[in-house]
Structure 1
Amino acid sequence: SGTAVLTPREPGGLPHGLRAAIALRAAAAVQDEELMAHYRARLEACPGGVSFATFAVPGTMPEDTRLAAILRHADLLTVEPRGATRDDIEGLKAADVTEPDIVRLAELCAFLAYQARLLMGLRLLRNA
């Protein structure tokens, strides 16, 4: 699953470097140091990742409206997924994010949320 959402053969409008930056940003938002280290290394190793590295920091927004819309939506799905509405999807479309890329972004964020929760549970079991 991780390979499918982080480094798919056909990344569409979400290049691998951006995906790694979103993953690091999500790990930072949930304050998971181990995941942050994992995704930082992944971002650094990713071709073109350096161009997205600044956006791995939660709250950092680019001037580019499309990229900013993608990051805002990723933040929303990371912090408050239930808060996402049809208006948020329309905002992505208005920023020229295609429907396939909206789906790709949702898949990535869902995987990241699942991964963070799974790892937290495994750590709790390990320490029990």
Structure 2
Amino acid sequence: MTTLIEKLAGIPTGSKLGAALKTRAEVLRLSEAAHDAVLVPRDPGGLSHALRAALAARMCRHLGSAALVAHYDGYLAHSGDADVAALAQPGGVSGDPRQDAMARHADLLTLSPRNATRGDIEALRSAGVGEPDIVRLSELAAFVNYQLRVVAGLVLLRDAS
């Protein structure tokens, strides 16, 4: 069975790279489970499934991954929540101070994570983002940025073979 990462990276079934990835099936399985846990958890807390999809699409747009943008835009479209759609675009705002602060933080964690400081967490708190949602946002950003890098690496390997 092809995993999401293999599909997004366009790894041909039966290729040498595909065979090599089968030796790392557990990592790919765990990555798929992490995807579901951060994108569509049973209890989304203050980050709705639509907001998660919009922020994920935004992060993917920042780093130019068309396959992942399409994937997360699909989740956003399926959610039916147009209120957060503007957040899927870099620089987009929803007009909700809490959501806009989360989008700025997702940008920071995607574009210059080394520059993140305690002050950035305080800015989230000041915008009304509670501690559990700060953790949820951090998990989302960490996973999406991991996924972006894994897919980019696999595309490079695919194209080199």
- TM-score interval, normalised by the smaller of the two chains: over 0.9
- Whole-angstrom distance in 2 between the partners of 1:30 and 1:54: 18
Residue by residue over 1:9-32, the C-alpha shift from the partner in whole angstroms, topping out at 9 and shown as x without a partner, is 111100000000001101100011
**Which of 99, 110, 127 is residue 78 of structure 1 equivalent to?**
110
Alpha-carbon deviation of 1:46? 1.8
The yes-or-no answer on 1:90 pairing with 2:128 is: no
The yes-or-no answer on 1:26 pairing with 2:81 is: no
- List aligned pairs for 1:32-71, cutoff 5 A: 32-48=65-81, 50-71=82-103
Q: Partner letter of residue 61 of structure 1?
A: V
- Whole-angstrom distance in 2 between the partners of 1:78 and 1:109: 7
Q: Max radius of gyration: which structure?
A: 2
- Whole-angstrom distance in 1 between the partners of 2:80 and 2:36: 15
Alpha-carbon deviation of 1:119? 0.1
Alpha-carbon deviation of 1:76? 0.5
Alpha-carbon deviation of 1:47? 4.2
Structure 1 spans left out of the alignment, 5+ residues = none
* Structure 1 residue ranges, 4+ long, deviating more than 3 angstroms after superposition: none
* TM-score, L = length of structure 2: 0.76
